Structure 1
Amino acid sequence: MFDSPLSASAYEVLGVEPTVDAEELRRAYRLRLRQTHPDTGGDAALFVQVQRAWELVGTPERRAAYDRGHGFGVHEAPEWSGWRAPAVRTDTRPRARSYGHPGGWRRERYLALIREWAGRGVTLDDPYDPALVRSAPHHVRRLLADALAEEETARTVADLGMGYTVWHDVAAGGRDPDPDAKVDHIVLGPSGLYGILSEDFGGPVRVRRGELIGDGVSGTPVATLVARLRTLARAAGVRFGGAIVVLPDDDVMQPITELGKVRGLPVAVVSRSALSDVLRRGVAGARSVGGNEVFDARTRLQQTVRFV
């Protein structure tokens, strides 16, 4: 939860400054527990966040490790590097066919904007330094959060094996690619052809009337994804079996939420940890593919797909 560039820090969740002493931190924790407890009218998601925050900073040892890793230590270099680009894998297990660069466009935009925000002519030793990221404007942190979300999905799909093909950062804006009009991932496998949106809104997300809502949600993510898939389907001459929105585990109340059909396309909202199972068994109501249809869909997409 707190590894997201958009998430509040453990101290912000507990409502204290990072410099408070241990006793004041404990008092704040107990107060926040009472304020957020569902039995007294509090929010269940916030109640879980408070408990998680205490797990991270509730003892001197854990607090010291958290401070070092998240840039709160004044004189110590951060040890945590979860926001950096992933290292190249060296294992040789059969993996899904993969095309495109997951999260690539958003990482490039993040690096450009973080340097612009820091100041022209300033050389940043580490654009992923936790203290720097935490202090950056929301729209800059959002780019990094979305890039990380796309990279996590890419790793999950790759581990599904040779029976799957995935295209990342697929342009969906017509003849002139608009980087904002893209589909994060297209996945083709035995369970069907799916379009996937990988998101991190920085907090709890709920579903209302077939759409996502929450403090960090803007626009209509589900409807936008479905519309872009319909555009790609017409261009490539393929039929998508369903659409999937992938969110951080801590931001959803249950691992899988089936939304039914949106403009004729089955949609599911799933947690990151549940994505692998969903892609193997399929979304309820989605049509599976096999044999020559898999080969035909792969060929059509290869001939049509353009990357942002």
Structure 2
Amino acid sequence: MFDSPLSASAYDVLGVAPDADDEALRRAYRLRQRATHPDTGGDAAAFIQVQRAWELVGTPEARAAYDRGHGFGAAAPAEWSPWQAPRTPARDTRPRARSHGHPGGWRRERYLALIREWAGRGVELEDPYDPALVRSAPHAVRRLLADALAEEATARIVSDLGMGYTVWHDVEAMGRGGSQDDKLDHIVLGPSGLYGVLSEDFGGPVRVRRGELVGDGVGEPPIAGLLARMRVIARAAGVRFSGAIVVLPDEDVLDQVDELGRVRGMPVAVVARSALSTVLRRGITGVRDIGGNEVFDVRTRLQRVVRFV
């Protein structure tokens, strides 16, 4: 919770300064709890955020740990950078999904270039992922890092599905290259079907309205854009996608899995990150499984045309 570069801190959610005393913090929590409670006309998603914020800072022990982790305390360790690229894990001998491309790579590169330009006109920063630096950066810069982290999280989940799955990351879809609007975050192929996957982090609660995502942090229609990029890949490779999946942080959705039915002719599901593995194993409702020979044929066709941004 609140570990997104876009999300408000626990203190922001409660409406107090990070150095507020315990009594002021407690009063703020009670006020926000009453204001957001669904029984009194408040918003359910906002009420959940208030409860989670209190869990993080409601006791002295929890608050001290939170302050150290988010850079608010004077003794925050300099080496602590929650948004660094994942380190190479210890060797794991379990069979992994076949993986191609660099998940989140394009956005991380853009983030590093822009944060250095914004903070020091291109000079080297001691830590471009320092929490205080990240949270003070312009929204567009923080958004790049948030989406890179979202893509990396999806990649880790998909890799654990096993050798029956193949995934392509950061796939060029529109043919122009070098733009976040031209790429498909992930293509996942397995026994349950062929899926186009969008990994997003809007920094707050998201709802579905008329087959599209809406919320304070949502800009251009994400589902429409995902489907458009999938159509480009499908035509180029001569394949048919089984469905589209939008993956969001657990705290930003009310339902773990929200199947929208067909949107512009394509089955679409909005999925909490913790439920992604289950959805990819079972497939979206009504989508047929595909056999070994078909999986091989689809994989071969995609390998011939896939290019990475």
Does the alignment pair 1:106 with 2:107?
yes
Alpha-carbon distance in structure 2 between the residues aligned to 1:125 and 1:97: 35
CA RMSD of aligned residues (A): 1.1
Superposed CA deviations along residues 83-141 of structure 1, whole A, max 9, x for unmatched, are 11011122111000000000000000000000001022543111111111111110000
Name the structure 1 match of 2:302: 301
- Say whether the 8 Å CA contact 2:173–2:233 is kept in structure 1: yes
- Say whether the 8 Å CA contact 1:70–1:78 is kept in structure 2: no
Name the structure 1 match of 2:45: 45
Alpha-carbon distance in structure 1 between the residues aligned to 2:53 and 2:256: 21
Alpha-carbon distance in structure 2 between the residues aligned to 1:209 and 1:235: 29
Superposed CA deviations along residues 121-176 of structure 1, whole A, max 9, x for unmatched, are 543111111111111110000000000000000000000000000000000012x3
Shift of 1:258: 0.8
Mapping of residues 1-308 of structure 1, within 5 Å: 1-77=1-77, 80-89=80-89, 90-120=91-121, 122-174=123-175, 176-180=176-180, 181-308=182-309
- Structure 2-normalised TM-score? 0.97
Alpha-carbon distance in structure 2 between the residues aligned to 1:5 and 1:76: 17
- Say whether the 8 Å CA contact 2:68–2:75 is kept in structure 1: no
- Say whether the 8 Å CA contact 1:210–1:259 is kept in structure 2: yes
Specify every segment of 5 or more residues in structure 2 that has no aligned partner in the other structure, as ranges.
none
Shift of 1:286: 2.2
- Say whether the 8 Å CA contact 1:241–1:288 is kept in structure 2: no
- Say whether the 8 Å CA contact 2:113–2:122 is kept in structure 1: no
- Structure 1-normalised TM-score? 0.97
Q: Percent identical across equivalent pairs? A: 78
Give the 4+ runs in structure 1 shifted more than 3 A: 78-81
Specify every segment of 5 or more residues in structure 1 that has no aligned partner in the other structure, as ranges.
none
Alpha-carbon distance in structure 2 between the residues aligned to 1:23 and 1:13: 16
Alpha-carbon distance in structure 2 between the residues aligned to 1:122 and 1:230: 41
Size of the aligned set, in residue pairs, is 307
